[in-house]
Structure 1
């Protein structure tokens, strides 16, 4: 999951694990993943899915935005070029977070890309807060609390995030969504969850 910006997921995970005084085995146990999963991620041999990385970071606990922001201090930047958005996706799903390094951010705004066949997973997601978004292009099936809808360009959604939810692109075109959630799921250490 080393992005074009050169972000080293493996080294960053190892740095945080050691800073928390955890062995690979202990972190794996806390996160509910195998020892080999932690080892392979730290060696950059595999790219973890967003949900897998989230489970591991929750066990530290460290937010996804803190993970990708590294130790760089945030600032009061107000405008962001496309290349300045922080990629927090898994290499298949793309989630580009606006203002990831902004301290005490109260909102997560995410530019999402779901290629055909993309799915946030059979395990429904649930977390505190609210989320909403607008489909920019393509179509996405969203299931919330057992109710499913296929939404297309211009359609929107808004729901309480504690309701079980899942996003799937069943179409043949990429789906692009601009979404927001609060509290900022990708910034509260140990509590960040969006739909991935």
Structure 2
């Protein structure tokens, strides 16, 4: 399988990014649907009310751990927060046409983007992305949630931390673990790393 070049990846990133306004609108809709005030949701998700207000208005982006806390408090899932279509989905998603989202497009502190292999949709039992991690990029964490995760390193070198264990992985290595274990990862190589990542149920 051919690995996309860095130039082609960057071109797609310039074309498609996550939408903070859309994410904020989804959070606000979920909060209002459940009859929660800003203060109540902020307390449940252990974040400040002012930050939550900025997130709902598209002026700030949550870290991945915060987003997990928010969707848990809202009894929702991360997939729905980023879902772009409510219509019937296709079967084939061509190279170069798959959307990329940044985990933190406003702060850009983590150097990680997710290339959607299949769209976020309640119709899918699996969530599948290609995680692209810039040199020195690191996921926010550790995070924990229900489910199971499977990954395959396409290119580069990473460290995968699961609970109290650290694994160094390179291209061709794979992994599987219970999502309820605290986990996070970082790029420890000299080039951009990419991981084919599948988890269930849909979270991220």
CA RMSD of aligned residues (A): 2.4
2:62 to 26, 48, 59: 48
Residue pairs, 1:1-196, within 5 angstroms: 4=16, 7=19, 8=21, 9-69=23-83, 72-81=85-94, 82-85=96-99, 87=101, 89-91=103-105, 92-121=111-140, 123-181=141-199, 183-184=200-201, 186=202, 192=203, 194=204
TM-score, normalised on structure 2?
0.77
The structural deviation recorded for 1:5 is 5.6
Structure 1, unpaired ranges of 5+: 187-191
Which deviates the most, 90-99 or 103-112? 90-99
Instruction: Confirm or deny: 8 A CA contact 1:94 1:114 kept in the other structure.
Output: yes
Q: Distance in 1 between matches of 2:69 and 2:34?
A: 16
Instruction: Confirm or deny: 8 A CA contact 1:74 1:102 kept in the other structure.
Output: no
Deviation readout 1:40-71 (Å, 9 max, x if unpaired): 2123222222222222122112211111115x
Show the counterpart of 2:108. none
Instruction: Confirm or deny: 8 A CA contact 1:138 1:152 kept in the other structure.
Output: yes
Q: Distance in 2 between matches of 1:153 and 1:6?
A: 27
TM-score, normalised on structure 1?
0.79
Alpha-carbon spacing, 1:138–1:101, altered in 2? closer, same or farther (3 Å): closer
Structure 2, unpaired ranges of 5+: 1-14, 106-110
Show the counterpart of 1:189. none
Larger fraction in helix: 2
The structural deviation recorded for 1:159 is 1.9
Q: Extract structure 1 runs of 4+ deviating beyond 6 A.
A: none
The structural deviation recorded for 1:133 is 1.1
Deviation readout 1:166-193 (Å, 9 max, x if unpaired): 2122333221111112x22x3xxxxx2x
